[in-house]
Structures are given as C-alpha cells and as structure tokens.
Amino acid sequence: MSGISGIGFNSSYASGFFGPAFNSGTGTASEAAAGALQGETKVTLNPGESVEKKPGMRSSPAECETCKNRKYIDGSDENVSFKSAAHISPEAAPSRVRGHEQEHVANAYKKAAQGDGKVLQASVKIQTAVCPECGRTYVSGGLTTTQIMYKNEDNPYQKNRKSADAASGLIGSSFDAAV
C-alpha cells in the first residue's frame, strides 16, 4: 500500500506546528488569527475563503492557520511526487491527490510488465477529514492498493498444482458445448 497523507497542526496526521506566517511582535500567531490581541484586526490567511465563523469552531476558513499550513507528503518508497512536504490549497487538493495516486497505479503496471506479471487489482481510496479549527472538509490523503500476480513456472508448487488439476479432471470440467 502506498499513498499520500496530509500533515499539519492539530490533525490526525499531525507532525507539529509549521510556524506562523505572520506576527506583529506580541502574542502568538494563533492569537493574532483569532483576533485575541487588542487593537489588532483579524488577519486573512486564506484569501477568497468565507469569513463566517461556524458555531463551535475557533476561526473562519479565511483566518484558518491550520488550513494555510497543511502540507502533504508521500510515505512510500516509490519514485513519485510529494517526497518532501508540500502545501496544496484545499481547492486543488482533490485533483492533485488523485493524480499522485494514479502515479502509484502506473508504477504497479510498469512493475508488473517488467516482471512478466499481471495486475489483478488496483484501487485508490481518497481520504477526507474535517479541519478542527475552521470546520472545512478537505482531502487529507489517499491510499493505493495493488495486487500483482507473477507467472512462475519454475516454482515446484505451481507445477504440482497444474499436474493435480490435470489429474483430477478440473481442467475443462466447466466447459459446456451445445452439440
């Protein structure tokens, strides 16, 4: 299994806070984003997003520091994109993650072709999550699962299985022809 996952502040894939994008000198970046500093106006971290704060959430999508600092990284060892953490906007994440997972599927077909194998199954699962700070639903990552079958005529178990099938009459037993 291989895939990409989102990492960021206060998420299930959290690896820590990636640092404030702004600071006017006093207080923390999250206090500034929440408008907790006196005399400060709220800072828009995500232009073009809604400034409406949902009930029970700490900030609006426009002021969400978590969404601004969310990064994606690939945890597999294949030669694909996102080997180092990179930010993707929430609007672009679905297509970028699908494209990334398609790279894993293409690699599976390439690997099967090199080893005289056949891809039996390849599936991609796109994962979503809800931002704990602003309540926005976002694509948090993806998971690609592939199964490859290789033909191995030199394997004694494979040879034994073929001869057992032939001896028991299983080969051709499902054949039904109208005469």
Q: If residue 139 lies in a helix (H) or strand (E), which one and from where to where?
A: strand 137-150
Q: Using pLDDT thresholds of 50, 70 and 90, give the confidence band for residue 143.
A: very high
Long-range contact pairs involving 94-99 (C-beta distance under 8 Å, separation at least 24): 94/126, 94/139, 96/72, 97/4, 97/72, 97/126, 97/139, 97/141, 97/142, 98/124, 98/126, 98/142
What tens digit of pLDDT does each residue of 36-46 get? Answer: 444 445 566 66
Q: Does the pLDDT value for residue 24 go beyond 80?
A: no
What tens digit of pLDDT does each residue of 67-126 get? Answer: 888 888 888 767 788 888 888 888 899 999 999 999 999 999 999 998 888 999 999 999
